[in-house]
Amino acid sequence: MNVTETLSQGLKREFQVVLNAADLKSRLDGELQNLQGKARINGFRPGKVPVGHLRRLYGRSVMADVVQNAVNEANQKIVADKGLKLALEPQVRFPEDQASIEAAMEAKGDLAFTVALEVLPQIEIADLSDVSLVKPVAEVPDADIDASLERMAGQNRNFSAKAEGAAAEKGDRLMISFVGTLEGKPFDGGTGSGIPLELGSGQFIPGFEEQLEGAKAGEKRTVKVSFPENYGAAHLAGKPAEFEVTVDEVQAPGELKIDDELAKGFGMESLDALRTAVREQLGRELAAQSRRKVKKSLLDALDGKYSFELPPSLVEQEFSAVWSQVEADMKNAGKTFADEDTTEDEARAEYRKIAERRVRLGLVLAEIGEQAKVQIADDEVTQALIERARQFPGQEKEVWEFYRKNPQALAEIRAPIFEEKVVDHLLGQVKIEDKTVSREELYADEDAETEEKAKPAKAKKAKKAAAADDASA
C-alpha cells in the first residue's frame, strides 16, 4: 500500500492511496483460503472446495470485503503516521473510470482512491488567571415556599358536586364532554369525554374557560376560540374552532388546608418537614440557575480568549441543526422572515455565527478536558441513563436497551457529563465573587427573553444570539 499526501491546506488533508494488483491478489487469495476451511458446498467435502471454484462463486463479494478492509487500513495508517485528530469520518473517493474499478475487482489492475480529511485545529490552552466572574446567588423567599404549598394543597384538595342549578364560578371544577370542529369538520384530538376542567386554571386554550363561566350541570354551550399562532400542532395553529361542550357536573372546591395531613399525603411526617423539603427543592432550582449564569459568563470569557480556524464540516453540521430548528419554529408559528422584520440571508448570517461559537467552544472544552485528563465514571453514565429512561414511563427497558446497543447515542449521554466536569475544572481556575441577588434578578435575563419574543426581530437579535448559544458544546 502506497500512501501519498496530495493536499495540506488549512484543516483539509487529502491522500492518494494505491494498492497494486499483486497486493490485491494476495489479499484476495488469503481471504479465499480462509473461506475454504469454512465453506459447505454440495458435491465437495468440508474444507476441500477448490479455491478456484470459490473464486468463481464468491470472488467479487470477497474482493469487496478486501477493498473495504484496505480502506479502513489506509485510514488508520494515515491517522497514526501523521498523528492527526479527525473532525469527522474520512471521505473516500474512488475513480469514476469504471474500467479501472472492474480491473481492480478482478485483481488485474491497481486500485487507487483518495482519502479526504478534515482535522481538528491545534489549540493552545489560554491562561485564565486574569478572568474574574460574578456568581449571582439567591436565597429562597418564604413567599415562594408559601406559594408552593398553596399549589400543592390546591392540587390535592377535594371537589364536591354543587347544588342542582348552581352556576359555575372561577375556581370551580367542571366535568365536561366536547366535540371540536374546524370549518364544521371534527379534527383529531378535538373530542373528549369526562374531562375535568378547573375554571381559571388556564388549562385549555385562551378563551375556552371563560365561556363556560355561569354554566350549569346538564347545560350545553358552543365555545368559539382560535388556536394560538404558536400552538404545538401545526395543522391547528392560528385556526378558529368551535366546541360543542356538555357540562356533566359542576363541582365546588373544598377548603384549602395546609397542615400536617397535607404533608403526610406527600410522605412527610409534618408540615415543618414538608416546608423544609420544599425549601431544599427551590434552593436546588436557584442553585441550578446560578450555575447556568456563571457558566454562561465563563463561556463568554473563553470565547474572548480563543480564535482559530474551525473545521468547515463541523460548522456546517451545527448550523444545519440550528437552522432546521429555526425553520420548524417559524413554520409552527406561521411566520415568515418578513414578519420578523429581517431577511433569510440576515437570519442565516446571525445563526451561522451562533453555530461557529458553539463549535469553537466545544473544541476548546474538549481540548481542556483531554489535557486535564477529565474522566467519566461508569456509574455516572449509568445514573444519567436511568434519568433519561425515566422520561419515558412504560418504555424504560426499551430506552435502556437502545442506548446500551447504540454507542453514538450513548455518547450523547456522556457529552453533557464531560462538559460539566470540564466547566467545574475551569471554575476552579478563575476568580469567582458571589453576589447576593433576588430571585427576580437571578431570572431577569430569561424573563426579558420571554418578553422579547413578542417584539420585532431586529430589536431582539442581540438577546436571541446570547440565549441561543448558552449551551455551547
Q: Is the model's pLDDT at 468 over the cut of 60?
A: no
Is residue 446 predicted with pLDDT exceeding 80?
A: no
% of residues, the chain, pLDDT over 70: 90
What does the pLDDT average to over 202-209? 91
In the predicted model, what is the mean pLDDT of residues 170-189?
92
CA-closest candidate to residue 157, choices 249, 247, 248, 259: 259
Q: Report d(CA 448, CA 466) in Å as an integer.
A: 12
Q: What is the mean pLDDT of residues 442-465?
A: 47
Parallel, antiparallel, or unpaired: how do β-strands 12-19 and 111-118 relate? Answer: antiparallel
pLDDT score, position 46? 65
pLDDT for residue 459:
30
Specify the CATH number of the domain 2-118. 3.30.70.1050
pLDDT range class, residue 154, cuts 50, 70, 90: confident
> What pairs with residue 161 in β-bridges?
251
Min mean pLDDT across 31-40, 288-297, 392-401, 449-458 is at 449-458
Q: Does domain 288-468 have CATH number 1.10.3120.10?
A: yes
- At residue 40, the pLDDT reads 66
Span 272-306, pLDDT tens digits: 999 999 999 999 999 999 999 999 999 999 999 99
Q: What is the pLDDT of residues 116-147, one digit of tens each?
A: 999 999 999 999 999 999 999 999 999 999 99
Its sign, for the CA torsion 333, 339, 341, 344, is positive
* Burial profile 74-101: b = 16 or more Cβ within 10 angstroms, e = fewer: bbeebbeeeeeeebeebebeeeeeeeeb
Name the 3-class secondary structure at 257. coil
Residue 414 has pLDDT above 90, yes or no: yes
3-class DSSP assignment, residue 440: helix
Taking the whole predicted model, whether its pTM rises above 0.75 is answered as no
How far CA 207 is from CA of 7, 203, 322, 329, 450, in Å, comes to 65, 11, 34, 24, 22
Confidence of residue 42 (pLDDT cuts 50, 70, 90): low
pLDDT score for 47: 64
Q: What would the DSSP string read from start to end of 217-240?
A: TT-EEEEEEE--TT-SSTTTTT-E
Class of domain 158-253 (CATH, top level)? alpha beta
Check pLDDT > 90 for residue 57.
no
**Confidence at residue 356, expressed as pLDDT on a 0 to 100 scale:** 96
Which helix (H) or strand (E) covers residue 114, if one does? strand 111-118
Helix, strand, coil percentages for the chain (3-state, nearest 5): 50, 20, 30
Task: State residue 247's pLDDT score.
Answer: 95
Tell me the range of 3-7, 57-61, 64-68 where mean pLDDT is highest: 3-7
Q: What is the pLDDT of residue 1?
A: 84
Give yes or no for residue 453 having a pLDDT over 60: no
Mean pLDDT, residues 15-43: 79
DSSP letter at 199 equals T
CA distance 142 to 226: 39
DSSP-assigned letters across all residues of 52-81: HHHHHHHHHHHHHHHHHHHHHHHHHHHHHH
Return the amino acid letter for 248: D
Q: Is the pLDDT of residue 404 over 50?
A: yes
Backbone angles phi, psi at 113, to 5 degrees: -145, 160
**What is the reported pLDDT for 467?**
41
Over the stretch 322-350, which tens digit does the pLDDT of each residue have? 999 999 888 877 788 888 889 999 999 99
* pLDDT band per the 50, 70, 90 thresholds, residue 436: very high
Q: What is the pLDDT of residues 79-110, one digit of tens each?
A: 999 999 999 899 999 988 888 888 888 888 88
What ranges do the domains of the chain cover?
A: 2-118, 158-253, 288-468
Q: What is the mean pLDDT of the chain?
A: 87
